[in-house]
Amino acid sequence: MGDQAPVFTDDPNLPSFESQAERLAEAMIQGGWLDTNIDRVHMNSIGHGVGAATEARSNLFEVLAEGRSMTGFVGHGAPSAWTFQSLLFPSDIADLNNDGYPTLIGTLTCYTSYFVSPHNDTVAHRFMNGYRLGGDGEPIYGAPNGSVAIHGAATLSNYLQNEYFAERVIARQLEGATLGDAIQQTRVEAAERGVDDLVINWVLLGDPTLRLSVQ
């Protein structure tokens, strides 16, 4: 996976989310990525409510349709939703047209990688499995849109600890580590620092052998 612009999306309820996103963007730049290759989709600059969420989601999907190696989301979350402003629900993935350009998603968000219930159809499940509806309104099996991997907190989490973990995963990926190794190494470091919650809470869904490259 090459140097194609990651996307960071924040939530208007807490302006510090945008600051977190910018710090992660800076980590990418320090690792060799061009600032011009980093798209920002910030709800703070769009507004509040469902209308703003619809515009932000449209902007996000337009960027992903062009092909992006990484996508980052910073904000509130639940298994079946990104943000309290209705930015993204599982059903919305049907409108994502990034066929052939699966993205790697990393988030600083609670419940991103929630997986313990086989009956829950989460945002992560839809991204990982691909999701599109046919003319009859039924899901198309094996839809080619979505993501190649998602990693983040599986349950309720501390947003500052999320930043700590995500920043170190990105740094290790940029140093050449596989995604799986980057997460495992960060778990070890987190345990040594006493950040025990993220040692067991940060979960990877997808291919652990993925690598990033700076081109």
Sequence spans of domains, the chain? 7-206
| Residue 128, pLDDT above cutoff 90 | yes
Q: What percent of the chain has pLDDT above 70?
A: 91
- Compute the average pLDDT of residues 172-198: 91
CB 202 within 8 A of CB 156: no
Mean pLDDT of 32-60: 84
Judge contact between 157 and 212, C-beta under 8 A: no
Picking from 36-40, 114-118, 130-134, which range would have the lowest pLDDT averaged per residue? Answer: 114-118
When the pLDDT of each residue in the chain is averaged and rounded to a whole number, the result is 86
Q: What is the pTM of this model?
A: 0.89
In the predicted structure, residue 7 carries a pLDDT above the cut 70: no
Name the token pair of 167.
Answer: 């920043």
Token pair of 75 as six digits: 């904000």
Residue 118 reports pLDDT greater than 80: no
Predicted local distance difference test score (pLDDT) of residue 13: 53
| Closest C-alpha to 190, from 166, 211, 155 | 166
The whole-angstrom separation of Cα 126 and Cα 147 is: 9
- Angstrom distance (rounded) from CA 38 to CA 40: 7
What is the sign of the dihedral through the CA atoms of 34, 104, 87 and 74? negative
pLDDT value for 6: 46
Q: How is residue 49 written in tokens?
A: 């409510």
- pLDDT of res. 3: 45
Q: Which of 14-18, 72-76, 120-124, 142-146 has the lowest mean pLDDT?
A: 14-18
Closest CA to 209 of 164, 178, 188: 178
**β-strands 103-108, 147-153 pairing:** parallel
* The domain defined by 7-206 carries CATH number 3.40.50.1460: yes
